[in-house]
Structures are given as structure tokens and as C-alpha cells.
């Protein structure tokens, strides 16, 4: 088989894998309907909290929007949701194929020792911070802002929360990894260290190895931050309903604590 044929075969396989992952995510979180109370409308000015969801490699923001229908508790009635899409860019692990990507990924499966695109991560972090800053300027308290993400979006979530200068409501990492070295720790502000982190990872994950997820809590501990880590024994590289239910309760508790503190 020629090198060109091998390249085209690998490229097709990589693109197919990304499509299957996106389809798997949509199947797991497909809801029966979208409650009217969660649709943006004239009441947007009254938003009291903000949830930013960052998707994984090769996916899109709109494909992940059904996730918000799992958050139907009264505490989310005045929550604004955002599901941005990553820009299209060549991805090294997929032989330079262009696809939605927050930053470059050099290799998959992701392991604790995989090389990282730190400069690309930091550039993506700036864009996430700009989204957060807009909501703060619109009147939403930082304590009521939550950044969540899956896979590559989970890695970006971690980076964005660590490097934001203020304490946020929380950061939730699903099947993510630490996307930079320990030298970044010195850039984490005292306020950012107070932001709680929730980390969920499937033990059967073959794309982002479970060991890559396990490396998160020790990294955060070295930065002086707390992390609630949950392992899911039979879960691969996907999101389960149980994880979203756990996230709903986790955010609800922090919204209540924030309300009590601000009252």
C-alpha cells in the first residue's frame, strides 16, 4: 500500500471516528423536548447565572445544545446557556485534517505524557475569557458562572478556569486532561484557586485515557485547588446521563450557596 493510500485511509478513519463520537454524544443526551423556560427570549436581561459548554474535537456547539434540557430544576429558570463552536483548524493527530478544534492535538489516545499545544491552549483561553467577561459586564456575578466541557472542551475548561483572574462558580471537566505543564501554576491567581472543580471520567475511555484524567486532581492540588473526581467504571469516551444529573446537583448547590452569600 502506498504512503498516499495509507494517509487517505487514516484520514478517513479519523474523520469517521470524530463523527461517531459526536453521534454517540447526541444519542446519550437526546431529550424529548426543549422546555420553553430554557429558551432565550425577552427575559434574557434577568439572567442570574451563566453556563458555558465547550464541545470536543470535531463536534459543534449546536450539536450539544440538547444537554441543557437535563437542567430543568427551578434554579436554572434564569440561567443563560452558551454553546459556542470551535474554529476550523488543521489537527496534527488527524494528519492535518481541518475540523472544529479549540487548539491542536498532537496525538491520540491522550495519555498523561502526551505533548501539548500550550500556545494554542492559551490563545483559546483568551477567547473563553472574553465570553465570560461579556456576561460579567452584563450583570451576572462571577460566582454564578460555570464553565463545562467534554474531551478537548474539558481540557479548555480546566485551562480557562485556572487562568481566569476571579473566582467562578465552578468548572466541570468531562473526559478531559491537563493541557499544559506545571509552569502554568504560578500564573493561577489567589482568586482562581477558590474556584471548585468537578471532574468526571470513564474508566473504559480509550481516546483520553483514564490515567490522563487521574492526573488532574494531583495537578490541581499542587495549585492549591480542590477537585471532586468521579470515575465511571463502564463508560468510554462519552457522556452519561448520570454525569449530567451529578452536574445539575453540583451547580444547584453552588447557586444556592452564592445566593445565600450575596443576600
* φ/ψ (deg, to 5) at 148: -130, 150
Q: Is 2 a catalytic residue?
A: no
Q: Which of 49, 200, 237, 238 is catalytic?
A: 237
Q: Is 237 a catalytic residue?
A: yes
Helix pair 152-163, 118-137: axis angle to 10 deg: 60
What is the Cα–Cα distance from 154 to 203, expressed in whole angstroms? 16
Q: Is 234 a catalytic residue?
A: no
Full DSSP string of 18-83? HHHHHHHHHHHH--S---GGGS--GGGGG--EEEEEE--TT--HHHHGGGGGG--SGGGTTEEEE-
What is the Cα–Cα distance from 230 to 200, expressed in whole angstroms? 5
Of 235, 80, 225, 47, the C-alpha closest to 151 is: 235
Contact 95, 14 (CB under 8 A): yes
What is the Cα–Cα distance from 23 to 243, expressed in whole angstroms? 18
Q: Which of 49, 117, 141, 151 is catalytic?
A: 151
Residue 171, helix vs strand vs coil: strand
Give the torsion sign (CA, 149, 154, 155, 160). positive
What is the Cα–Cα distance from 136 to 89, expressed in whole angstroms? 29
Give the torsion sign (CA, 60, 98, 21, 175). negative
Helix (H) or strand (E) holding 148: strand 145-150
Q: Which of 104, 117, 143, 205 is catalytic?
A: 205
By annotation, the residues acting in catalysis are 151, 205, 237
Amino acid at each position: 500500500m502506498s504512503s498516499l493510500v495509507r494517509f487517505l485511509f487514516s484520514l478517513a478513519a479519523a474523520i469517521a471516528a470524530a463523527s461517531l463520537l459526536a453521534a454517540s454524544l447526541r444519542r446519550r443526551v437526546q431529550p424529548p423536548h426543549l422546555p420553553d423556560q430554557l429558551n432565550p427570549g425577552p427575559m434574557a436581561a434577568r439572567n442570574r447565572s451563566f453556563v458555558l459548554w465547550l464541545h470536543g474535537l470535531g463536534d459543534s456547539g449546536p450539536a450539544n445544545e440538547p444537554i441543557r434540557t437535563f437542567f430543568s430544576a427551578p434554579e436554572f429558570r434564569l440561567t443563560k446557556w452558551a454553546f459556542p463552536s470551535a474554529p476550523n483548524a488543521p489537527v496534527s493527530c488527524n494528519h492535518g485534517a481541518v475540523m472544529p478544534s479549540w487548539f491542536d492535538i498532537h496525538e491520540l489516545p491522550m495519555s498523561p505524557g502526551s505533548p501539548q499545544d500550550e500556545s494554542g491552549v492559551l490563545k483559546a483561553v483568551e477567547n473563553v475569557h472574553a465570553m465570560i467577561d461579556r456576561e460579567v459586564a452584563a450583570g451576572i456575578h462571577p460566582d454564578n458562572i460555570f464553565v463545562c466541557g467534554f474531551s478537548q472542551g474539558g481540557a479548555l475548561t480546566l485551562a480557562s478556569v485556572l487562568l481566569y483572574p476571579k473566582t467562578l462558580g465552578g468548572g466541570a471537566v468531562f473526559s478531559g486532561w491537563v493541557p499544559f505543564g506545571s509552569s502554568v501554576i504560578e500564573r493561577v491567581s489567589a482568586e482562581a484557586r477558590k474556584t471548585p472543580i468537578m471532574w468526571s471520567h470513564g474508566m473504559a475511555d480509550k481516546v483520553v485515557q483514564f490515567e490522563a484524567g487521574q492526573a488532574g486532581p494531583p495537578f490541581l492540588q499542587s495549585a492549591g485547588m480542590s477537585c471532586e473526581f468521579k470515575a465511571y467504571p463502564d463508560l468510554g469516551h462519552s457522556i452519561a446521563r448520570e454525569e449530567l444529573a451529578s452536574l445539575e446537583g453540583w451547580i444547584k448547590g453552588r447557586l444556592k450557596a452564592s445566593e445565600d452569600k450575596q443576600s
